[in-house]
Amino acid sequence: MNVSDILYKKLKIKTDESCPPTEEMLAVITHWMHNAGKASASPYGEKCRKYLQTILCASDPSLDKKDITLKSIKEQGLFQDAVNVPFPSPERSRFTFIDLFAGMGGFRLAMQKHGGRCVFSSEWNAYAQKTYFANFGEVPFGDITDERIKAYIPDNFDVLCAGFPCQPFSIAGISKKNSLGRAHGFLDKTQGTLFFDVAEIIRRKRPKAFYLENVKNLQSHDKGRTFHVISNTLQELGYNIHYQIMDGKYYVPQHRERIMIIGFRNDLYQGKETFTFPAKEDPHLKIRNILDPNIDAKYTLTDKLWLYLQNYAKKHQANGNGFGYGLTNLDGISRTLSARYYKDGSEILIPQGEGKNPRRLSPRECARLMGYSDQYIINAVSEVQAYHQCGNSVIVPLITAVAGNLVKSMLNDECK
């Protein structure tokens, strides 16, 4: 039996308060599988056997619950798709981390690159959970605001990673919410307050360090008051923070500015950690280097859509603003890839020569633009969902570079 079979086919399992939804059951099982034999498995082991019995007996009623044990699942080779994955945890880990608002797993790739072992992941979007599972063999837990989910987070992990939702603080997100008459920032009841869930986990678990990422506008939102609240909260929790706005264009051919916030526990490092952000280099990156030479014709814009985008741009230019499509210079870098890219591809259009309409990037090209290798599985979900996930992702090589400096400081500077 495979985890993916259960995720996609949804075995008919009756759930109640003592037996949570299938996704949570699979999260417990796959987290146990990746932490078995280690202290970080303790939050999962007790419930794992019960959930295994529930799932396996639902698929085969002839099974005897007594024969289903944590040991037997390994002996029988069950759920091997949770083990045979492109990006497994390092065999020998140097530190542990948790991955909140995990998305496609950009933070996980970065931390694993430096020898980190993930002991807990969470992501509420069901499609992103499938992509994450396909690449890491782990089903992330869901809503991190739920106390039942928080209870699974192990003690004594080293680093908390969180690219917490940016829509309440981004320029695009604020414009949309204003047009709908909705609040933004910390007044956004569904997303803006998620920072405080992160802060509460930091307070309870006291990791050695954390790595938070968000949009550039976080620093200036509400005349700086939002960032003042965030930075003060983190400092009051006993952490010395470092922050900097960094542009992804130094790592991939895409202009994408994000704020990086790094924190170290004061009682361990006394504010004397040697952390610095990576130096900027002139990479001379070109978008043509991430393009496929033979691309399916379906990515070329239809005459109707191309005419619409041109007329839309003319309309806004006449009104004195710069809204419109972005025809990319193949020897330069692109605009920022957004989560809405699947709709028309307007912010990053690839020219195809005279007499031919431009095209949008394919999902694989979008993944490359975010720094994901071609070994990364992008087609575990539909193309629409893949586009959406790429637009919401972090730039992997940028996160990896910052993470490298964080890990070096954390491991070398403790208790100096």
Question: Which residues are known catalytic residues?
Answer: 166
Q: How would you class 135 by CB atoms within 10 Å of its CB: exposed for 0-12, middle for 13-18, buried for 19 or more?
A: buried
Cβ neighbors of 192 (< 8 A, separation 6 or more) are: 168, 169, 183, 184, 185, 186
Contact 376, 135 (CB under 8 A): yes
State the SS3 of 281-322: CCCCCCHHHHCCCCCCHHHECCHHHHHHHHHHHHHHHHCCCC
Neighbouring CB atoms inside 10 A of 181's CB total: 6
Distance separating alpha carbons of residues 102 and 403, to the nearest angstrom = 15
